[in-house]
Amino acid sequence: MDTGSDPHVAPSPDAQDPLDAYSQAVIRVAETVIPHVAAIEMSGTGPGGRTLLGSGSAVVFTEDGYLLTNAHVVAAAYAGRAIFADGSTTEVDIIGSDALSDLAVVGARTTAPPPATLGDAESLRVGQLVIAVGNPLGLAGSVTAGVVSGLGRSIPTRAGTARRVIEDVIQTDAALNPGNSGGALADTRGKVVGINTAVAGAGLGLAVPINTTTRKIISALLSDGKVRRAYLGLVSTPVGLNPAAARSTGQRQALRVVEVIAGSPAEQAGLKAGDLVLSAGRRPVASAQSLQKLLFTDAIGIPFPLTVLRSGAAVDVVAIPREMA
């Protein structure tokens, strides 16, 4: 007798509701990550001597109490306090900040919880489940879940009158609100693969990836308090090449130039919106990260050759990167 569609027949006890599996994954990650994420309150002096208070989140990432957060969370601050999920608090000092990556390191003056486990964003795939942990709108230990919506994004931002570009961010549909900035974006293993940033707004969930490049940035912040970066001034996004272009160039992907910042080395070199960057520094590039890896201290002031595809033809240009202020 067929009882497969009979509403009165109980499901097999071995059957598992897919939503239960999803919920269990999110719960497991939340329980793993929340203890390592702090709410931070920063104070500084604004125009006219006014005291400004800012807030965000931060993630403990070393045994000796250093925390990762966003550069825009600590901007113009001179003091801060971290509040952890167990109710413990500590004053924090700003160790270093890098506006280009929107990363900063603060150090706990007293004890802090054990560190979170940092993962590797290079293994992420579009569609993968990720969980954001932070303190949006002052609501401590908040968790949202979503999927990776895009990888290798390059987002223009503004700091006062200066325009900057944050490279290689992760885009997710996990809801982020003010206060989430500096919090953790974790994979289903509970490893932190990104530091959430709300700097771009427009309803986008964005996170700075934890990868080889950002680990280098974090190391520089710990040792020197800053990162010397070479600056080109490109806003770009990865694209696949059409079959004809792929055959002629030997590459499947390139970086499409979305915008060239006015007055930048890229503009002075003649790069234009719509160009497809095939190589930089004589190395193939197919993501914002592959370009970013070439733009550290040793590239400042040195001729930097780029090959772009423009109207179907390969064009060689030479830019002179300058140090990012």
For residue 22, what is the DSSP state?
Answer: H
- Active-site residue (options: 72, 98, 154, 187): 72
For residue 114, what is the DSSP state?
Answer: P
CA distance 183 to 135: 8
CA distance 271 to 87: 52
- Active-site residue (options: 57, 97, 142, 181): 181
DSSP result, 203-228:
T-EEEEE-SHHHHHHHHHHHHHSS--
Cβ contact 168:126 at 8 Å: no
- Active-site residue (options: 98, 102, 168, 187): 102
Active site annotation includes 8? no
Cβ contact 57:39 at 8 Å: yes
CA distance 63 to 235: 36
Active site annotation includes 72? yes
**Composition of the chain by helix, strand, coil, percent to 5:** 20, 40, 40
Active site annotation includes 149? no
What residues are labeled active site? 72, 102, 181
